[in-house]
Amino acid sequence: MRGNEELFPIVEAFGYLHNTDAAGAARSNKLCPFSKTSCEKFRQYKYGYCSVSYAAESDEGIRRTYAVCDHRLDGDPLRLAISDHFGGMSGVKLVPEVVLTKPRQSFDYVAIALKGTEIVDQIAIETQAIDIRGGGVGPAWRAWYEGKPHKWRDYFTTEATRKGRKDTVAYGVNMANIYKRLGMQVAEKGAFLKRIGIPFYILTQDLPFRYLQSRIPFEAVGKGKPWDIAFMTFDYSGKSAENGMLDFPHVQTVRTTVNDYTSALTKGTRFLDEKLHFLERVKRKAQLI
């Protein structure tokens, strides 16, 4: 991220624009306004940032806000997915972190419609943010958390000196991992859910989704046509509410079938490269080259 080091990397902290009173107040209770629970990232890693500012290669030099916590897709995005399938049906319950042993699968959420204690309808939901690569934004977070955001660059210098490395702000967003991790997960989980007749919703930011779709150019099904997988995307509008929360509206819903998705996946550049590598090794072993 050379050339942009003067810009504070973190956009949202504990669910609010980092330089608002609401974010400062949230520092004391560490509550996530999206999940309505204590910040999971802070419990695990002592970090509470939700999004960062970065210009990815596909952004043509324009800095954008990237969500880096899956819980940024909680709240309104989850409610929209539930409404998309169940409409105004009452008695819908959201069950988090469903883990299976046979087969070994896990789902961020399963929404179920109940009639008494009987499940009469259900959907599986995954929430997907993007990972940070490179040096990370930990020093900037510590500066903010200690009430010295204006000195955030000094925190990077201190860390670089302590670790004996170059003094740079070299974080990035891991677009490639969206393809490698989410791309494969959707195929595997989607196929399993299709076998048992459960619709699959993936909630993600629109920017990473567009990258995924460029690498896996699956066919979208038309309105009213059968589908297995629904991608629901959201993105930052650039607007903020008076309480310091950033607007993160719905952008698009793209539906496809498991067959169309997996067909596009196996025609992707990664699979072609892997096939060529495999065949080359076979030829060498057979002494054909």
105 closest CA partner among 176, 186, 205: 186
Mean pLDDT of 165-172: 91
**pLDDT value of residue 239:** 94
Name the token pair of 65: 């806000």
Mean pLDDT of 198-210: 96
78: CB partners within 8 A, 6+ apart: 94, 109, 125, 127, 203
Mean pLDDT of 216-244: 94
Residue 229 class from Cβ within 10 Å (0-12 exposed, 13-18 middle, 19+ buried)? buried
Name the more confident of 248 and 241. Answer: 248
Residue 215 has φ and ψ, to the nearest 5°, of -90, -30
Inter-residue contact 160 to 138 (CB < 8 Å) = no
Q: Is residue 119 helix, strand or coil?
A: strand
pTM comes to: 0.88
Position 56 confidence tier, pLDDT thresholds 50, 70, 90: confident
**pLDDT value of residue 61:** 81
Mean pLDDT rounded to a whole number for the chain: 91
Name the more confident of 88 and 107. Answer: 107
Say whether pLDDT at 270 is over 80: no
**pLDDT value of residue 1:** 40
- The single-letter DSSP state of residue 146 is T
Residue 237 class from Cβ within 10 Å (0-12 exposed, 13-18 middle, 19+ buried)? exposed
Q: How far is CA 103 from CA 98, 188, 193, 259, in A?
A: 12, 11, 11, 20
Q: What angle, 0 to 180 degrees and rounded to 10, lies between the N-to-C axes of helices 258-266 and 183-195?
A: 150
Position 288 confidence tier, pLDDT thresholds 50, 70, 90: confident
**pLDDT value of residue 178:** 87
Position 267 confidence tier, pLDDT thresholds 50, 70, 90: confident
Residue 84 has φ and ψ, to the nearest 5°, of -60, -40
